[in-house]
Amino acid sequence: MADDKKFVGYICTGCGIGDRLDAGQLETIATRDGKMQSCRQHEMLCNKEGVQMIRDDITNDGVTHVMVAACSRRAKVEAFNFTDVAISRANLREGVIWVRPDTDENRETTQEMAEDYIRMGCAEVKFMTRPSPSGEQELNKHILVVGGGITGMTAALESSAAGYPVHLVEQMGTLGGHAAGYYKSIPTRSPYTDPQDTGVAQMIADIQASDNISVHLNSKVTRTQGAPGRFEVEIATESDSTATLSIGAIIQATGFNLYDPSALTQYRYGQSTDIVTNEELEKLVKEADGGSIKRPSDGKEIRSVAFLQNVGQNSVEDNQLPYHSGIGDLIAIKQAMYFKELNGNCDTTILFDNLRAPGAAGEDFYRAGQQKMVTFAKGSVTEVVPGNTLEVKFKDLILNDDASMQCDLVVLDVGMMPNTGPDPYAQLAVDEAEDETEKEKARQLLEHAPPSILNLDYRQGTDLPHLKYGFTDSHFICFPYETRRTGIYAAGPTRRPMDMRQATDDAAGAAMKAIQAAENAGKGLAAHPRAGDLSYPSFRKEGCTQCKRCTVECPFGAINEDEQRYPMFNEARCRRCGTCMGACPVRVISFENYSVDTVGQQIKSCEIPEEWDEKPRILVLACENDAYPALDQAAMNGVEINPWARVIPVRCLGSVNLSWITDSLNNGYDGIVLMGCQKGEDYQCHFVKGSEMGLERMSKVGDTLQTLDLEPERVASYEVAITDIQRAPKLINDMADTVGKIGLSPFKF
């Protein structure tokens, strides 16, 4: 150990730890096996006195590396937040005494578990370095908002109110977006009985009056390069003048486009001017300027109107939307009320197949529509027949009979489609195609892609990655507003269909995240979910084989390549998931506080009993965001875990390097359980693709087992949710049963 490093262990005896475990023996293990220079006990390490004891040792005695043996690393985070040292946590409470019954016959194995966790905590901290800021940039408070609709204007106003200068870019000549053409909006205040003012005019006035918001109309983003805290964004106007801005964080609020119902022949859209979409109706009402709403074909006052819901939505048919926009029925209720307000006793019928009234207004607004004599009829439209009046033919779903109605105007409820730009992974598919056929197929998909919005100068593509329906990937559970491009946040209908109230709330959330990103970037700190982490990946160039796996597998576009095709790690884009580390076949990528060695040495530090002891060892690598907290909660609920298990939290299953698997098997572990997050379209992975890539790698571990002449059952990978409180421990216990059936590892002999 270097002279300038001082390693000290601290053991807590509170929360029953001292009653169940021999703390003196744990001290001996820390100094003898763990090579700590000293080790101290405290009856409640997380209280004021215990924390101060550690702080005094750091300040006065030059302690640089701290091993805290107490509760789970997910508990007492603030108490043990020593940012000026390298620190590891040995989980004696949730990981040992809470998962083992307090009986005399369990005392030996419980103590052995605790001793191993002490060894593991010491081994981890010995191979850690205290992370320090990269010093790549200073604080840049400028926020770029792309899109000048309700969402973009709200994001601009919220950011400005927090004291952050804003550049608002809008490709049209005016602000307001779709909402600027609306007569009124769905109510957002109780009693939710009447449509309300959109508020667009006031928002535009507030933006124009703000000295903190610069508006760029008739403009587009033509290039975005750099990273959070130092984005360089080029903005071009219609007159071809350009400006380059230095930006801290970006919010994409480019809204939506409406589905074109022209291909749905049964509705005859385009064959009569009296068949309009719900947005076209808003323009008709605004043109009425407080007077009665007139029929487009002849200018006569409309006396009857039919609202046909769910047009081209929630369908498995080609060229229709496979999802439902959700708010179309509330819009129809609002618009039916327009006719009740402006056209007297106009007959209004909403023809629906499945009425939806989500959000705050919801049921109250629907009831208000009924009270205003809006008719709600459950039916499936078969045909709209143009003429002097319009005939709507439909299947009455209540009476199970064919029916029809005459009306002056038909309003089609068309869905919202995201305005998101091309999917970067579609772009990458062309570059990564292995043969010309595959390349041509990918190229054809790109030909129909929309134009780029952000024009990102990233190896991984020009725009934000998509979900399966084209909406920006921003998971509602794991990381709302976050996208797969660090420091760039999506808000409003570009993320999912939503009404104006939801869009403004969304914009406020995205603004807060963008501000956090700018602030964190200025300090060199990571963004969600490892917010506050100063570490970032580095690599040993002389060992790099230029295989590009780290570049391709990074879920966040944080790695480019230099002129010699070596990886270029971008600290500010990195989420610190470690997927690059797991992908690297030659183990040259590491973080200061998380590396192949910090985990590998934990694996090697566990005491592996001899075969005659008949005490198996099971390695559990558990995702710190879902599986590990599930195990913690299991412990809180008294769920028993097999004493042979040794659990190591990993940042993401994507960070698991195959060397950990081979090393553990060679060292005599009898079984390995890997727990990652749910993958696929409904993924729960905080690092988006990390779990999926980790599970994919593990699916090929059978070759390694075959080489070692080991049974494939010895390694098992699972998708585990944070709510799997009963299941997660059972998976470990099941592996213990499997080992009992197939026998101990032959590598023990």
List pLDDT tens digits, range 304-323.
Answer: 999 999 999 999 998 899 99
Fold designation for 143-255+447-523 = FAD/NAD(P)-binding domain (3.50.50)
Task: Domain ranges for the chain, please list them.
Answer: 1-130, 143-255+447-523, 261-418
Express as a percent the part of the chain with pLDDT over 90. Answer: 79
**At residue 437, does pLDDT exceed 80?**
no
Indicate yes or no: pTM above 0.75. yes
Q: Give the dihedral sign, CA 261/262/263/266.
A: positive
Residues 6+ apart with CB under 8 A from 682: none
CA 615/CA 75 separation, integer angstroms: 30
The model's pLDDT over 233-261, given as tens digits with 9 standing for 90+, comes to 999 998 889 999 999 999 999 999 999 99
Instruction: Give me the pLDDT at residue 295, please.
Output: 95
The residue type found at 711 is: E
Which pLDDT tens digit goes with each residue over 88-109? Answer: 999 999 999 999 999 999 999 9
Which distant-in-sequence residues (6+ apart) come within 8 Å of 526 by Cβ? 520, 532, 533, 534, 535, 536, 574, 575, 576
Tell me how far apart the alpha carbons of residues 78 and 86 are, in angstroms, rounded to a whole number.
15
Give the tens place of pLDDT for each residue, 3-22.
689 999 999 999 999 999 99
Distances (CA, A) of 354 to 311, 326, 374: 12, 11, 16
476 band by pLDDT with thresholds 50, 70 and 90: low
Q: Residue 59: pLDDT above 50?
A: yes
The pLDDT value recorded for residue 749 is 62
Backbone conformation region of residue 310, classed left if phi is above 0, alpha if psi is from -120 to 50, else beta? left
Q: Which of the four CATH numbers 3.40.50.1980, 3.50.50.60, 3.40.228.10, 3.40.50.720 does domain 261-418 have?
A: 3.50.50.60
Q: Express each pLDDT in 150-170 by its tens digit.
A: 999 999 999 999 999 999 999
What is the chain's length?
749
For the record, the structure tokens of 173 come out as 């000549």
Per-residue pLDDT at 305:
98
Average pLDDT over residues 555-578: 90
Beta strands across the sheet bearing 38-42: 38-42, 7-12, 65-70, 86-91
In the predicted structure, residue 280 carries a pLDDT above the cut 70: yes
* Side-chain half-sphere exposure of 226, counting CA atoms within 13 A: 22
- CA–CA separation, 698 and 703 (whole Å): 10
Q: For residue 3, what pLDDT is reported?
A: 60
> Lowest mean pLDDT: which of 482-496, 674-688, 726-740?
674-688
Note the pLDDT of residue 427: 67
Sequence-distant (6+) residues with CB within 8 A of 382 are 266, 393, 394, 395, 402
Residue 368's pLDDT band (cuts 50, 70, 90): very high
Question: Using one digit for the tens of pLDDT, what is the confidence trace for 616-641?
Answer: 999 999 999 999 999 999 999 999 99
Mean predicted lDDT score pLDDT of the chain: 93
Among candidates 616, 623, 603, which has minimal Cα distance to 736?
616
Token pair 């053991």: residue: 11
What is the reported pLDDT for 646?
97
Residue 199: helix, strand or coil by DSSP?
coil
The pLDDT tens digits of the residues spanning 489-514 come to 999 999 999 999 999 999 999 999 99
Torsion 34-36-38-43 (CA) sign = negative
CATH number of 1-130: 3.40.50
Q: What is the pLDDT of residues 184-218, one digit of tens each?
A: 999 999 999 999 999 999 999 999 999 999 999 99
Q: How many CB atoms lie within 10 A of CB 300?
A: 10
Q: Residue 1: its pLDDT value, please?
A: 44
Query: What pLDDT shows up at residue 650?
Result: 97
**385: pLDDT strictly greater than 60:** yes
Q: Which two tokens stand for residue 284?
A: 């008709």
Judge if 143-255+447-523 and 261-418 fold alike in CATH terms: yes
Which band of pLDDT confidence, cut at 50, 70 and 90, is reported for residue 611?
confident
Q: C-alpha angle with apex 414: 412 to 415, nearest 5 degrees? A: 160
How, if at all, do strands 589-590 and 538-539 pair? antiparallel
For residue 680, the model assigns a pLDDT of 81
What does the block give as tokens for 300? 């006569």
**Per-residue pLDDT for 132 more than 90?**
no
Nearest in space to 479 (alpha carbons), one of 454, 434, 509, 457: 509
